[in-house]
């Protein structure tokens, strides 16, 4: 085809472009494959796959939607995605899938995550009868929402996939191992040995594997709490057994077998942990057991190499009344030098991981963001970090803090839906789950302008 022009007749509408533009589609796409001399659909003077190409211009007939083709061709020309208001996005996604351009559309749909530039992109109403309890972002921009004994799955186009059903066993946590695999932790019901950790297909909702726990070579039933995994494909879960077998279970994702178990030492509440976080640089697991699940909060770093608690903090003996500050959530900062905590007054505090002697250094810089309406049901605040920024949910909003001093730089808020009970960041999106409506919001960073 050289460096010449190519003509397409798409659904009766003629488009003309160049081989340079088609090359932007990539060789794996249908349009990019036209540049491959071994491709077996060459233009001809007749009908069928090719059409008569007058003046030496190759012409191809494609029996597809011309409006979508115009948008996709413009994307290849400019690198920017402009969707006319009258064109349904799901129709565009379907056509992009046909041409092998879905990944390019996804990349152009939103930009690299920046908490200070997020914009509300969608609000998705769930189909479950009750309110959701947890939301988790998928690596590809999709998400899942836990509703009691079910987990609703959504792809990056926010289309609902077949859900994961657990026969009414309540879900405690969920985590995406990758975009095709979802880990679910379910609570054991009284009289039934149906709790545990399992891997499901995030594409079909089918069960793939159940992770077992054994003590003294005897399989035991257990209730898992929080979930996390590390870069070596190890899965960690806080575990409560029937015979006081409390601690952190570890499994190998490759074999599916139990790899270790860190039994709960005296004074360290591990089996009830609400939050687990793997720290790559420290090569340790952060475990946080928080109020109100327990009366006293415990945060520790576990070194599995020698089964040692290398750092810990607890408020045992500190809080004397309900007016005292109680830690409701915790997150290790990305530099792994400190842990950020938040209390019932929406104050942020910091614990120094380099010292076992210090207490919480509280800051009230976020207090003025408290917008709770007296009649509104509140939710416990949550924390997250991403790209050097700290995120904190407070009632109906999410605050964004930036820089080494964690200065408030942005606030995300929607006009209805009630308080935010959970949020999650992944796939360059932020998902916020509301408690008063069965709905979650999707926040995206607009793509940078094409200059």
DSSP state of 106: H
DSSP 112-163: S--GGG-EEEEEEE--SSSPP-EEEE-TTS-EEEEETTEEEEE-TT--B-PP
- Domain residue spans of the chain: 5-31+59-109
Q: How much is the pLDDT for 126?
A: 75
CA 186, CA 201: separation in Å to the nearest integer? 16
Q: How much is the pLDDT for 152?
A: 94
- The answer to whether 115 and 425 are in contact (CB under 8 A) is no
Q: How much is the pLDDT for 366?
A: 47
Give me the phi and psi of 115, to 5 degrees please. -60, -25
Q: How much is the pLDDT for 45?
A: 47
Q: Which residues contact 22 (CB under 8 A, 6 or more apart)?
A: 6, 31, 32, 34, 35, 76
Record the tokens describing residue 243, joined without a space.
């015979």
Q: How much is the pLDDT for 450?
A: 64
Of 407, 311, 412, 313, nearest to 363 (Cα)?
A: 407
- The answer to whether 121 and 130 are in contact (CB under 8 A) is no
Q: How much is the pLDDT for 106?
A: 87
Q: How much is the pLDDT for 447?
A: 85
CA distances from 182 to 145, 204, 229 (A): 12, 11, 12
DSSP 28-71: TSTTGGGG-TT-S----SSSTTEE--GGG-EEEEE-S-HHHHHH
Fold type of domain 5-31+59-109: Potassium Channel Kv1.1; Chain A (3.30.710)
CA 83, CA 71: separation in Å to the nearest integer? 7
Record the tokens describing residue 93, joined without a space.
């996604």
Of 147, 143, 119, 154, nearest to 133 (Cα)?
A: 147
- The answer to whether 286 and 270 are in contact (CB under 8 A) is no
How many residues does this entry show for the chain? Answer: 451
Cα 393 to chain centroid distance, Å, stands at 16
Using alpha carbons only, give the angle 428, 432, 438 rounded to the nearest 5 degrees: 135
Of 394, 379, 295, nearest to 348 (Cα)?
A: 394
pLDDT in tens, the chain (451 residues): 445 889 999 999 999 999 899 999 998 899 888 777 665 455 544 433 444 444 567 789 999 999 999 999 999 999 889 999 999 988 999 999 999 999 899 888 888 999 999 999 999 987 666 667 899 999 999 999 998 889 999 999 999 999 999 877 889 999 999 999 999 999 877 666 667 899 999 999 999 999 999 888 888 888 899 999 998 889 999 999 877 789 999 999 989 999 999 999 988 989 999 999 999 999 999 999 998 888 889 999 999 999 999 999 998 877 555 557 789 999 999 999 999 999 988 899 999 998 887 789 988 654 444 445 444 567 899 999 999 999 999 888 999 999 988 999 999 998 677 889 999 999 999 999 998 777 899 999 998 776 5
pTM exceeds 0.85, yes or no? yes
Record the tokens describing residue 16, joined without a space.
């003309």
Q: How much is the pLDDT for 51?
A: 46
142: left (phi over 0), alpha (psi -120 to 50) or beta: beta
Give me the phi and psi of 99, to 5 degrees please. -85, -5
């Amino acid at each position: 085809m050289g460096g010449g022009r190519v003509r397409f007749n798409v659904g009766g509408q003629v488009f003309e472009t160049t081989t340079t533009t088609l090359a932007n589609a990539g060789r794996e796409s249908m349009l990019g494959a036209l540049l491959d001399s071994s491709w077996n659909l060459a233009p001809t003077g007749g009908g069928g796959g090719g059409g008569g190409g007058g003046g030496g211009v190759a012409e191809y007939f494609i029996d597809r939607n011309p409006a979508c083709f115009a948008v996709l061709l413009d994307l290849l020309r400019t690198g920017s995605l402009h969707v006319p208001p009258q064109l349904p996005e799901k129709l565009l996604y379907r056509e992009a899938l046909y041409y092998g351009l879905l990944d390019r559309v996804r990349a152009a749909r939103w930009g690299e995550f920046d908490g200070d530039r997020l914009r509300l992109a969608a609000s998705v109403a769930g189909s479950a009868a009750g309110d959701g309890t947890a939301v988790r972002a998928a690596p590809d921009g999709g998400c899942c929402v836990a509703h009691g004994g079910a987990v609703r799955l959504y792809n990056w186009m926010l289309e609902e996939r077949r859900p994961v059903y657990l026969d009414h066993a309540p879900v405690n946590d969920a985590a995406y191992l990758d975009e095709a695999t979802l880990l679910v932790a379910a609570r054991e019901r009284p009289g039934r040995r149906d709790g545990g950790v399992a891997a499901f297909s995030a594409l079909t909702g089918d069960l793939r594997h159940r992770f077992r726990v054994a003590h003294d070579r005897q399989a035991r039933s257990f209730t898992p709490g929080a979930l996390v995994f590390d870069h070596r494909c190890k899965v960690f879960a806080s575990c409560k057994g029937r015979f006081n077998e409390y601690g952190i279970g570890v499994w190998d994702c490759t074999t599916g077998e139990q790899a270790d178990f860190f039994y709960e030492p005296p004074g360290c509440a591990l089996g009830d942990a609400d939050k687990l976080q793997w720290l790559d640089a420290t090569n340790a697991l952060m475990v946080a057991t928080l109020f109100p699940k327990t009366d006293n909060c415990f945060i520790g770093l576990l070194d599995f190499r020698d089964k040692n608690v290398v750092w810990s903090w607890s408020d045992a003996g500190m809080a004397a009344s309900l007016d005292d500050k109680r830690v409701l959530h915790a997150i290790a900062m990305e530099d792994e030098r400190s842990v950020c905590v938040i209390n019932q007054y929406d104050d942020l505090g910091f614990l120094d991981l380099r010292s076992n002697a210090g207490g919480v250094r509280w800051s009230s810089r976020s207090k003025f963001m408290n917008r709770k309406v007296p009649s509104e049901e509140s939710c416990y605040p949550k924390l997250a970090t991403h790209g050097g920024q700290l995120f904190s949910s407070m009632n109906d909003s999410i605050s964004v803090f930036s820089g080494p001093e964690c200065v408030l730089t942005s606030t995300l808020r929607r006009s209805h839906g009630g308080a935010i009970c959970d949020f999650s960041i992944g796939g360059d999106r932020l998902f916020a789950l509301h408690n008063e409506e069965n709905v979650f919001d999707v926040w995206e960073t607009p793509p940078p302008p094409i200059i």
